[in-house]
Amino acid sequence: MLWLKAIGVLAVSYFIGSIPFGYIFVKIKTGRDVRSWHSGRTGTTNALRVAGVWAGLATVTMDILKGITVVWLAKEIFPNQPWMHVFAPLMMIIGHNYSLVMVEHNEKGKPVLRGGAGGAPSVGGAIGLWWPVALIQIPVGAVILLGVGYASVATMSMPLIAAAVFAWRAWQGLGPWAYVVYGLLAEALLLWSLRPNIKRLMAGEERIVGVRAWWRKRKARQRHKAAQQQRQQSSTTNTVPSNGLKHSSHP
C-alpha cells in the first residue's frame, strides 16, 4: 500500500510539472506558439522574450507554485519521509522539462517531449522544502543575472544555492541531508536541459542581459553617434573650401 502511494505521489508530481504555463500564457497573450520562437522552451525566459513582462511574471509565478505544490503533497502523505519530499519535486522538474503535453515528432517521426529548463520549478521545490531559502536564493540569483549577464548561468546557479543553504542547515542539525541531494540532482537536471546554452557560453555566443547588456547597448549608441558626427564633419569638409567661401558655378 505504501509503495502505491509513493508511485501515486511521483506520478501526480510529474503531471503537475508537465503543465506548460509558459505555452499557455504566451498563447493567451499573443496567439503564438512559444516553442517556435528563440530557444523553443516553455519556461520563463522564453515567455518573457516572446510575450513580454506580464507573461514572464505569470509563468515564473505558476512554475514556482508547481514546485511548492508537489512538496506540500509529499509532506502531507509522507510527513516523515524526507526522500519522498525530495523525489516529488525532482519528478516535477522532469515533467516540466519533458512534458507529455508538449509531444512533438522529429524529422524521423519519433516522438520528442518538449518543455522548459527547470529553473523556476527547481526554485519552487526548494521553497517547498524550506521556504526561507527563497530569501537567499532569489536575491543571489537576481544579482548573478544582472551582474554576470547570462540567464542560463543564473538558472544553473539556483539549485546550487539551495544545496549550499540546505548543507549548512544539515551541518547544524536543522534539516535532513536528503535536501542537499535535492539541490545537486536538480542541478544535474538543469545542466542536461541547458546543454545548448552551455555550448553557446563556451563559444561566447550566449545572449547577454542585465547590466552587461545595458553597457553594451550604451557603448554601441556612443559609437553610432560618433560615426554620425564624423560623417557630418566629413560632408562639411567636402562641400566648404578651405578659405571658407562656398563653391560657385560662375567664374
Q: How far apart are CA 85 and CA 75, in angstroms?
A: 6
pLDDT for residue 241 = 58
195 CB-near residues (< 8 Å, 6+ apart) = none
All residue ranges of the chain with pLDDT < 50 are: 244, 247-249, 251
Q: How far apart are CA 77 and CA 186, in angstroms?
A: 22
Q: What are the structural domain ranges in the chain?
A: 2-205
CA torsion 74-79-82-86 (nearest 10°) is 10
Q: How far apart are CA 15 and CA 91, in angstroms?
A: 9
Single pTM value for the model: 0.83
Q: How far apart are CA 91 and CA 110, in angstroms?
A: 23
3-state SS of 176-243? Answer: CCHHHHHHHHHHHHHHHHCHHHHHHHHHCCCCCCHHHHHHHHHHHHHHHHHHHHHHHHHHHHHHCCCC
pLDDT for residue 249 = 47
pLDDT for residue 251 = 45
Q: What's the pLDDT tens digit per position in 144-168?
A: 888 888 888 999 999 999 999 999 9
- Residues 89, 123 contacting (CB under 8 angstroms): no
pLDDT for residue 107 = 77
Q: 244 is written with which cell numbers?
A: 571658407
How many other C-beta atoms lie within 10 A of the C-beta of residue 4? 8
pLDDT for residue 218 = 63
The one-letter amino acid code at 222 reads: Q
Count CA atoms within 13 Å of residue 114 on its CB side. Answer: 19
